[in-house]
Amino acid sequence: MTFALIGSESLLGREIRDIAATTSPALELHLIAALGEQPGKLTLVGDEPALVGGLNAESLAGARAVFLAGSAESSRQALEILDQQPGAAIIDLTGAAEGRPDAHLRAPLVEPEREVEEHGVAAVHLIAHPAAIALAMFLRRLQAHDPIRRSVIQVFAPASEHGMAGVQELQQQTISLLSFKTLPRAIFDTQIGFNLLAQYGEEAPTALDDSELRIEHHLAALLGLPGEGEGAPMPSLRLVQAPVFHGYSFSAWVEFDGNPGVEALESGLATGSIEVRGSEFEPPTNVGQAGQGGIAVGAIASDRNNPEACWFWLVADNLRLAAENAVALARQLT
């Protein structure tokens, strides 16, 4: 059964192509150009040649499911086409389906397996924000072993959350700053190179506060799902834009009902999707996590000023995490 991928050349699209081709069972992808991409291009899915088609009703006809991984404009156009010819499941990684009454928030690495049956296969599936997925995996796993009283988490966002345009603006700003040239500001409307931002400029197309609110809404929904770790309290969050290209980093302070100690936390956190770096290893980094699924946790230390609290450092490849949840969902739909 064929799965259509809109935005095959985007950062998210490339991750989906890689996961679909290199993990088992492989998915048969029909590549479709998003707006701004060139249809008719010959490319590869794994080692197999593939031709990128145009975005139209004919190219989407007969698809088992459709990944939305391109620009927001192309996702909205695809949704309009698919509303006229229902039957395919929609897996949205762009947030274009946010707010639709028929959209279901999804994160297979967090949710119970019965979610597929509850929503049905021919539905609109909105992949949760990768930062929300990472934090839900972390907090639910903690809660399952050691009940959490409260937590405070600093979230450091990468430029790649804005796609290739965000990565290119950070790159161009870095070069411009070193050569004393005017800074491009189309995405952030302020200096991001060599800088940390609590908010973007007034002319930025997306406000940092809006992204923070979206993470909070998605995380609250994921923490409320039944299953292991349900009942984890919602943390206090602060989103900061970091001058990095890829990968989220999180600094988490967690207070427990009874602190189990660092060794117990390390052993309890480790799962197939959570790599734990003990004190004998270097803490994980967003650069080292690039291309890796799940999340990595390290630098676990007791709070010197609160005997019931600990500090954690965790990282996740935002593109990989979103794509692996989307592909996992596609496999469930088959």
> pLDDT by residue (tens digit) across 194-248?
999 999 999 999 999 999 999 999 999 999 999 989 999 999 999 999 999 999 9
Output 49 or 66, whichever has higher pLDDT: 66
Give the closest residue to 33 by CA, choosing from 46, 51, 16. 51
Q: What pTM was computed for the model?
A: 0.94
Q: pLDDT value at position 137?
A: 97
Fold of 132-318: Dihydrodipicolinate Reductase; domain 2 (3.30.360)
Q: What CATH number does domain 2-128+323-333 carry, 3.40.50.11540, 3.40.50.1000, 3.40.50.720, 1.10.760.10? A: 3.40.50.720
Q: Share the mean pLDDT of the chain.
A: 92
* 330 closest CA partner among 27, 13, 38, 14: 27
Give pLDDT tens digits for 65-94: 999 999 999 999 999 999 998 888 999 999
Lowest mean pLDDT among 9-23, 101-115, 238-252, 271-285: 101-115
Tokens in use for 198?
């609590």
Condensed to tens digits (0 to 9), the pLDDT of residues 151-198 reads: 999 999 999 999 999 999 999 999 999 999 999 999 999 999 999 999
Bigger pLDDT: 15 vs 119: 15
139 and 256 Cβ atoms separated by less than 8 Å? no
Distance of CA 68 to the CA centre of its chain: 14
**Which stretch of 11-25, 143-157, 232-246 has the lowest confidence by average pLDDT?**
11-25
Instruction: Please state the domain extents for the chain.
Output: 2-128+323-333, 132-318
pLDDT of residue 2: 86
Average pLDDT (28-49) is: 82
From residue 177, alpha-carbon distances to 90, 186, 238 in Å are 42, 16, 27
At 197 the pLDDT is 97
